[in-house]
Structure 1
């Protein structure tokens, strides 16, 4: 077998290739079979971490185009488009999305597609299917299904494992069931149920190594300190609104301001930009030291019945002395209401 790079040991060559950013990988893999094999090897991922070449990428799925994901590279201000998610469910929505072990995971959810003739929604409200995307091989793979079909549920990563809890199952029935997934073993294991179910969508965030499950409109929070332990119910009195974690701190958009939300107190960071006020259906996500607001739609104004889908992406460096909203490159394919968003580290 010829050397990866002529004149260099392969151990040195692969450390050189490891510094190539992800957005150039499709071109690099066209050079030769040995380079393509090197980039798809388990060793390559390990070496990327060793040489400090790991990348944090923003992963986004919007209502349009159907079942399409894009990745954003903040260092180079470029967007990459993934192969279409191969689920048979049309316009998959209300799913959970996280990343762990260098892969993107899309879990559960149901169809948001509408029959153009009748106006009826398709019948799949909740599924238990699980998909993973490997950014190195650039392929989607079907994983072991969740134990329970669910949509509009809490989904987090705790110690490298995926925790899902609550939400709605088939027939739109709220559930308290919770389970945990080990990516390396591709196995789901049940964990204690949530103490309470509520007839509202729930979401999850990890703060200080604990999973927090929040229901829309409720001040009480159900907290999992350890997957082997029971859930506890707390009343933090947190603000209601879109949330994101930046460097371990929770930020909330509420009443036109971005707040840093502590366990028992909050601190106003900056006003939400005035041009955002009519923006709905967007995602809010922390990446590095920044808080990103992605996509959404401009809702109909008082005299305007049109709804304008957006591909805009704005960010705020929350820890700066004078936080100011700025724009980055707009999404090149996705636009409109954001269905899923997470950060992928590879």
Structure 2
């Protein structure tokens, strides 16, 4: 980089460019070769942190179209489309997704492309492949593979590392193995197994600085200690249903209501009855908001049609009085949400 902006030292010019929103970066690259190099440099994203212009974006992948991700910019209410994930697995689903080290990671999973004659899931029920998307150079790259192929498993970012646990392996057998990934070293290491394995899908969330593994239909939760050295089994009596963590508190949708769970106590926060007919939607927290994204409506006893959705509803629970609003719908994705996480860049 040299003479980015005439008359300004490059260090100062870089801090000026750092204040430009992420969605405009492709246009900035068209100015000159030096600007393109600056926009695609680690130094620019460090400068964004220094000047306080880092952005929280929502990353979403839906069933339609296959292997496509979009980013949502809440400040500008717009969607950004990423290059297609270059996995050879058609309709990758049941994967884990997190952000760590400033990148988006898609881990494991299997094909959701089912042969209508044989029922075969494209020959791949579970894989150990790992992909990362770097928003600086705007490219996907394949990372070190997980030690065990897995699908429908718990996956969380914890203290700069990625932890995966449980799920089903390629022989469709439930497993208790857990492992941890270091994004800086691109290495997987085994950590203690879960205490219990169950013949049901599991999910993970981070609450109070600890990873919690929840199995569908069970009230018990397995909790990883902060050092990653072992698991404990707890029974919190949490409601069953979609969950989101907002500002350190857990919110659960159940029977058409969104409830705030505080220990063994729960408080109804807002009515969400329109989602009783919707399946496959994502519920996630970002800032002081809960985002309810996509999914499908139907079929039901009155209507056998299936309607894929692309709309987004935002419920603000961080304020004294909850409010809801419609955000811009996804521009490319629709239907069942396969993956959803946040990315800070």
How does the TM-score come out when normalised to structure 1? 0.97
Match status 1:287 vs 2:322: no
SS at match of 2:145: coil
SS for the counterpart of 1:4 is coil
Distance in 2 (alpha carbons) for counterparts of 1:305 and 1:119:
22
Q: Distance in 2 between matches of 1:150 and 1:188?
A: 14
What does 1:134-153 correspond to in 2, within 5 Å? 134-153=134-153
Contact 1:191 1:227 in 2 (8 A): no
Aligned to 2:41: 41
Is the partner of 1:53 in helix, strand or coil? Answer: coil
**Distance (whole Å) between structure 2 residues aligned to residue 164 and residue 121 of structure 1:** 23
Contact 2:260 2:268 in 1 (8 A): yes
- The answer to whether structure 1 residue 311 and structure 2 residue 333 are counterparts is no
1:322 is aligned to 321
| Segment drifting more, 152-161 vs 31-40 | 31-40
- Are 1:196 and 2:219 matched, yes or no? no
Alignment size in residue pairs: 345
Could you say what secondary structure the match of 1:173 adopts? Answer: coil
**Inter-partner Cα distance in structure 2 for 1:212 and 1:19:** 37
Aligned to 1:206: 206
For each residue in 1:236-287, what CA deviation from the matched residue of structure 2 results, as whole angstroms up to 9, or x when unmatched?
1111100011111111001211111122221211111x33321110000101
Structural mapping, 1:158-169, within 5 Å: 158-169=158-169
- Equivalent in the alignment of 2:299: 300
Spell out, residue by residue over 1:94-145, the C-alpha distance to the aligned partner (whole angstroms, 9 max, x if none): 0000001110000000000023565543120000000000112110000000
Cα RMSD (Å): 1.2
- 1:61-88 Cα shifts (integer Å, max 9, x gaps): 0000010000000000010000000000
What secondary structure sits across from 2:37 in the alignment? helix
The equivalent residue for 2:7 is 7
Identify unmatched segments of 5+ residues in structure 2. none
List aligned pairs for 1:1-346, cutoff 5 A: 2-115=2-115, 118=118, 120-272=120-272, 274-346=273-345
Aligned partners of 1:58, 1:79: CA distance in 2, in Å?
A: 9
2: distance between equivalents of 1:301 and 1:238?
28
